[in-house]
Structure 1
C-alpha cells in the first residue's frame, strides 16, 4: 500500500500546527483536502516504486508570485487574483513532473518588492525572516517542508536563508525559466531554492534548472580558491557580521583552503546607484497596466518604488545597462587575474533585525545579483542570542554545478569537522 495520502494528512497537520506562529504559508480554505487529492494522484501516477521520479512525494512550498494551477496568485497584494492569473510556471511544471507535492503558496513581500508580509522568523518570532522570499525560507526553517521555491531580484533568496539558518541557492540568471512568474525587475529576477541541506538543493536543482550536468566532475581539484572582495562593498557589513566572517575565514583556511583578499568595487556606491536605476525603471514598467487601475490597493513601499521608476528616463536606464556590462567585465577580470574560484562574503549585513516592519538590507547580495552570478548561502553559526548567520559563496557565470559540488566541503570546514573536499553534484 502506498502511504502518500497518509503523509499528506501529516503534512497538512504539521503546517496547521506550526504556521499558526510562523505564518509562512498563504491561507488556503481546504489544504488537507487538496493535499490528500494531490497525493493520491501522485501515488496513482507512479504506482511502481522502481519507476518513481526523483522528487516523488516531496512537499514543496511555492512563493506566491509563481503561478500554480489550482491555487490563486495574490503576490502578497490586495489586487484581485483574477487580474494576476495566468499559465502555471514552468518551474512548477518541472517539479510536478518530478513527483513533487505542492504544499501551498508561501508568503512574499508585496509583488516581491519591499512591503513585508506577516511571516516571522522561526528561530525567533520577534525577528524578520528577511524578504521577499520570507515564507519560503521560513517554511523550510520551521520544518514544515523540505523544499521551497523563492525568487531573488537583489537579495531575496540569500538574505532570508541566512536569517533563517537554511541553505539557499540562487542559480545563474536565466538558469531556471521565469515564465509564469510575476516579474519584479526582469533583468535581475531569478528563481531559486531553499532546503535544509545541500543534498536537497542538488536533487531539486537537477530537476528545475536548464541542462543540469548531474554527473560532470568539477574541472579543478579540490579545494577551490576562495576570494574575499575587500573594499567599500565589504565595509557595508555590520561589525557583528564582519567579526563572524573573520572567524569563518579562519575556519576555512584551517581546513586547507587558499583564501585570497582581492581589492574590488572601489566604485561601489556607483554600482548601487546603477542597480537602483535599472531596478526601479523595470518595476514601474512591470506595473504599467495594473498600477493606473489598482494603484489605491498598493502598499506605500511599492507605490514609492513605482513612482521612483516612473521618473527615470529611457536614456538614464540605457546608460545604467551599459555600466552594468562594464562592471560584469571588471568583476570577471578580477576573478581571473587572482585565480579565484569562489567569492566568499557575509550573506547579510548581520543577523535578522528585530521586528517585522523591515526585511533587512540586501546590500551584500547586490553586486552579485546585479551581474547574475550563481550564489549560495550556507548556515555559518549564530550570534550569542541564537540568531543564525550565513556565509555567501558566489561562483562564475554558469558554474552552478561546481558551486553546489564545492559547497559540502565548505560547510564541513565551517563546522570544523575535517578537511575540505569537493564532491560530484
Structure 2
C-alpha cells in the first residue's frame, strides 16, 4: 500500500526550486512503482534538476519570483511538452502524434513551474484505462481519463497536475482520489497543443491539493483571469431527482449529510429543475463527443486501427455512424440546454448547483475508470465545475459545484469556504 503523506498546499510563497525538484523525484521513485501516475523517463531527476537550477538563475531575487516559482507540475500525456514524447496512453507511434508545445505549458513555465513529467491517462483521453492505481487503495481505479494527474497529487508526488475534461475526466478522478479538481468554463484555457477528444467539449482541468491552489493555477492558465472577492454566501441549488438518483444510495446519504452541514453553517439551499429530461442531455453530449472524436482520429485510426484498444475503437466507429446533420442538431440542443439552466438560475437565484461528484467511491478493479454520468450536464453546457473532498469513512468522496458560464472566479472564491465547511 502506498504510504500517503500530508498533502502540501500550493501557495505563492518563495520556494527552493532545487529542493522542490529533489522532493518530487524522491516521491515519484518511492511510490510510482505501485501507482503508475507518471510515464517513465530515463533521467527525470537530471532533467528536472537542470530545469530547477535554470529557474533559480532566471529569478534570483525572491521579490521577482512568479506565482508557480519552483513548483513541479504533472502534465497529462495528451498535452505536448517540448522534449517529452506524447503517447496519449496509446501504442500509436509518438512521431505520429507529435506537435508543438501547448500554450498552457508555455504559461506554466513562464510562471516559474517545473515540468515534472507526463502523467498517465486513459487511451486518447476516452475511456480505455491506463495502468494507474488509486493511491488510497491500489486495488481501486483512480478514475479517468486524467488518471495519473489525480493520482500524482493524491500521492504527494506533485502539488499541481494538469488534466483535461470532455465528460468527467478531471472531476471524477479528483473525487476518487480525494483532492480538488477544477474544470473552468469551456474556452477559458487555450487547448492548442492538446490532442483533442471532442473540441466542442474539451476543457483543460486543474488538479491540486486545495481550492486556493486551483485559484493560483487558474490565474496563470486562464485567459483574462480577474480574482473576485465575495461578500455573501452563494445560494446552492439541488438539481432534479432524476439526475441525483443516478448516484448510489450510500452516496446520496452522504450528500444529504454534507448539505445539512452547509445549511447549519448558514448556506441557503433550494430545490431546482436544472437537469430535466436527463436521458436527452446524455444523448446530446455523446452525439457530440462520438462524432467529433471520430473526426479527430480519422487519419490515425485508418493507419493504426490495430493498435487501438477496443473501447477507443468502439468510440471512433460509433462516431463514424453519426452524420453531420445529427451533430449540428446536437450542438443547437446544447445551446438550448445551457440557456435553460442559465435562465433557471436567474429565476431561482441559484449561484451554484451542487451534487455528488461521482456516483460512488472509486470502484474496485482497473478495467473501468468509473461512471461519468454526474458530470454530464455541466460538461455539455461548458459551465465551470469544482470538486472538493467530502468526508467519508473509507475511500474519498467528492462534492460537486457548478456555476454560471464565465463565473469561474466566484466559483473558486466560494469553493474555498464550502470545502472548509465540509472538512470542519
Indicate whether 1:415 and 2:410 are aligned. Answer: no
Contact 1:231–1:264 at 8 Å: present in 2 too? no
Closer, same or farther: CA 11–266 of 1 in aligned 2, 3 Å: closer
Aligned residue in 2 for 1:339: 349
Tell me: CA distance 1:3–1:206, structure 2 relative to 1, closer, same or farther (3 Å).
Answer: closer
CA distance in 1, matches of 2:181, 2:275: 25
Q: What is the aligned partner in structure 1 of residue 158 from structure 2?
A: 145
Alignment deviations for residues 145-197 of structure 1 (CA, whole Å, 9 cap, x no partner)? 00000000000000000000000100000000000000000000000111111
Following TM superposition, by how much is the alpha carbon of 1:92 offset from its aligned partner in structure 2, in angstroms? Answer: 0.4
- Contact in 2 for aligned 1:25/1:106 (Cα 8 Å): yes
Please tell me whether the aligned partners of residues 373 and 397 of structure 1 are also in contact (alpha carbons under 8 angstroms): yes
TM-score (norm 2): 0.95
Match of 2:132 in 1: 119
* 8 Å contact from structure 2 (residues 20, 72) kept in 1: no
Q: Which residue of the partner structure matches residue 340 of structure 2?
A: 330
The separation in 2 between residues aligned to 1:360 and 1:293, in whole angstroms, is 30
Return the alpha-carbon distance in structure 2 between the equivalents of residues 4 and 396 of structure 1. Answer: 37
**Inter-partner Cα distance in structure 2 for 1:294 and 1:412:** 48
Q: Which residue of 1 aligns with 2:229?
A: 217
Kept after mapping to 1: 8 A contact 2:211/2:416: yes
Contact 2:240-2:276 within 8 A present in 1 as well = no
Distance in 2 (alpha carbons) for counterparts of 1:20 and 1:264: 44
Q: Which of 105, 108, 121 in structure 1 is aligned with 2:118?
A: 105
Mark the CA change 1:408 to 1:5 in structure 2 (over 3 Å): closer, same or farther.
closer
Q: Is the 8 A contact 1:231 1:266 kept in 2?
A: no
CA distances 1:198-246 after superposition (whole Å, capped 9, x unpaired): 11111111100111103x333xx41110000022111111111111111
Q: Helix, strand or coil: the match of 2:118?
A: strand
- Secondary structure of the residue aligned to 1:364 is helix
1:204 and 2:223 matched? no
Alpha-carbon offset, residue 3 of structure 1: 4.7
Normalising by structure 1, report the TM-score.
0.95
Cα deviation, residue 6, structure 1 = 4.2
* Bigger Cα displacement from structure 2, 2-11 vs 159-168: 2-11
- SS in structure 2 opposite 1:236? coil
Q: Distance in 1 between matches of 2:337 and 2:245?
A: 19
**Residue 38 (structure 2) aligned to one of 1, 20, 25:** 25
Matching of residue 397 in structure 1 with residue 405 in structure 2: yes
CA distance in 2, matches of 1:3, 1:330: 49
Q: How does 1:27-66 map to 2 (within 5 A)?
A: 27-66=40-79
Distance 1:84 1:34 in 2: 23
Inter-partner Cα distance in structure 1 for 2:356 and 2:274: 16
What residue is the counterpart of 1:190 in the other structure? 203
Q: Tell me the equivalent position of 2:314.
A: 304
Structure 1 CA distance for aligned equivalents of residues 183 and 82 of structure 2: 24
Distance in 2, Cα, partners of 1:252 & 1:4: 39
